[in-house]
Amino acid sequence: MECVFGLVGNGFAIVVADTSAVHSILVHKSNEDKIMVLDSHKLIAASGEPGDRVHFTEYIQKNVALYQFRNGIPLTTAAAANFTRGELATALRKNPYSVNILMAGYDKEIGPSLYYIDYIATLHKVDKGAFGYGSYFSLSMMDRHFHSGMSLEEAIDLVDKCIIEIRSRLVVAPPNFVIKIVDKDGAREYAWRESIKDASVVSA
């Protein structure tokens, strides 16, 4: 089951996602990146139906880029989150997307922010959020250890605590996770937490 979670720290926001691409009982690959870099200072961590997830997040990414081309300035995180919610809400009663989203971003005046957008387009600004069966463990760990204005070391420590909890307590726990961060220097990949490495392709 897909695990996505995230939290806001002191001047940064972190999102973590598992990296398993699963189809029924088969694991297609264990290094699927589910956190898309939306623009220089935004990340979108998505979980749900794989086709919808890729299609919808790419659609949002391209529209955010289009806004920047047309208007010369990038969207704020709040505006991008509201746009995403609008697209999900419009599609909800026609052709719904089964994608849950955690959008993390950094704006110069506002600082870091994290938005929880579930698949039926409920939008809420949060300090910590999670989706999937893993959320039962990661939200509880974060409720216990999170405080506002955490440093990067403390936040990564908390992320690792959550990953350990998911790995030990979730029956079909995903083996690998990717951690991405967004702060004043931009959105980038921070680290991977792998317990199973994909076998490299054997050359003939």
Partner 1 sequence: MSIFEYNGSALIAMVGKNCFAIASDRRLGVQLQTIATDFQRIYKIHDKVFLGLSGLGTDAQTLYQRLVFRHKLYQLREERDMKPETFASLVSALLYEKRFGPYFCQPVIAGLGDEDKPFICTMDSIGAKELAKDFVVAGTASESLYGACEAMFKPDMEPEELFEIVSQALLSSVDRDCLSGWGGHVYVVTPTEVRERILKGRMD
Q: Residue 99 Cβ, how far from partner 1 at the closest point, in Å?
A: 14
Q: Tell me: does residue 65 bind partner 1 (CB under 8 A).
A: no
Stretch that binds partner 1, among 14-22, 121-129, 150-158, 177-185 (CB under 8 A): 121-129
Binding mask of the shown chain, residues 133 to 172, with x at each position contacting partner 1 by CB under 8 A: --xx--x---------------------------------
**Closest-CA residue to 41 (of 114, 137, 105, 124):** 105
Binding mask of the shown chain, residues 93 to 112, with x at each position contacting partner 1 by CB under 8 A: x-------------------
As beta bridge partners, residue 188 has: 181
Nearer to partner 1 (CB atom), residue 108 or residue 144: 144
Q: Tell me: does residue 120 bind partner 1 (CB under 8 A).
A: yes
Interacting residue with partner 1 among 33, 49, 52, 118 (CB under 8 A): 118
Interacting residue with partner 1 among 21, 22, 89, 91 (CB under 8 A): 89
Q: What are phi and psi of 133, to 5 degrees?
A: -65, -30
- DSSP for 94-157, please give it: TS---EEEEEEEEETTTEEEEEEE-TT--EEEESEEEESTTHHHHHHHHHHH--TT--HHHHHH
In angstroms, rounded to a whole number, what is the distance separating the alpha carbons of residues 173 and 204? 34
Tokens of 16: 């973590």
Question: How open is the CA angle 199-202-204, to the nearest 5 degrees?
Answer: 170
Q: Tell me: does residue 126 bind partner 1 (CB under 8 A).
A: yes
Nearer to partner 1 (CB atom), residue 118 or residue 154: 118
Tokens of 160: 């690792």
Nearer to partner 1 (CB atom), residue 136 or residue 192: 136
Size of the site for partner 1 (CB under 8 A): 16
**Closest-CA residue to 102 (of 74, 138, 66, 69):** 138
Q: Which residues bind partner 1 (CB under 8 A)?
A: 85, 89, 92-93, 116, 118, 120-124, 126, 129, 135-136, 139
